[in-house]
Amino acid sequence: MIARLTITAALLSAATAVPALARDNQPVPEQRIRNIASLLETVPDPRQGVFIRAYDGRWYYARTLDECPRLTATAPLRLLPSPGGYFDRNSAIAADGWRCLVSSVVASDGPPSRRH
């Protein structure tokens, strides 16, 4: 009985740890942005995440763990790096004083108006 519960718990935790899927159902690799202090631009995706252009010109998308009510198109943003100094899934976004945890950071083509 205990073995069954242990196996069930392990399977459930593994199922929740599955990364986001790309359009062709392939896992999207998690990214880490270094030198977050020298980012060039942030474009909010209201209530869901933020597009970030890093120092090297590459775009990333940081999705929040839950809905972030104060993450609006005009909200002042601050990116709070993880303890290692990188911006990754262990980081947070401060939107208009509201702290929103990040669930994933993936490479992106940029905000919708910039996509080709």
Measured distance between the N- and C-terminal CA atoms of the chain, rounded to whole angstroms: 55
Give the pLDDT score at 63. 96
Contact 105, 32 (CB under 8 A): yes
| Residue 113 DSSP symbol | G
Which long-range contacts does 50-56 make (Cβ < 8 Å, 24+ apart)?
50/77, 50/79, 50/93, 51/108, 51/110, 51/111, 52/79, 52/87, 53/110
Give the pLDDT score at 42. 92
Angle, vertex CA 91, rays to CA 18 and CA 17, nearest 5? 10
12: pLDDT strictly greater than 70: no
14: pLDDT strictly greater than 60: no
Residue of 33 and 116 predicted with greater confidence? 33
Residue of 51 and 116 predicted with greater confidence? 51
The reported pTM is 0.73
Percentage of the chain surpassing pLDDT 90? Answer: 56
Amino acid code (one letter) for 19 = P
Range name among 57-61, 83-87, 105-109 with the lowest pLDDT average: 83-87
Please report where in the chains the tokens 């198109």 appear, as a residue.
Answer: 73
105: pLDDT strictly greater than 90: yes
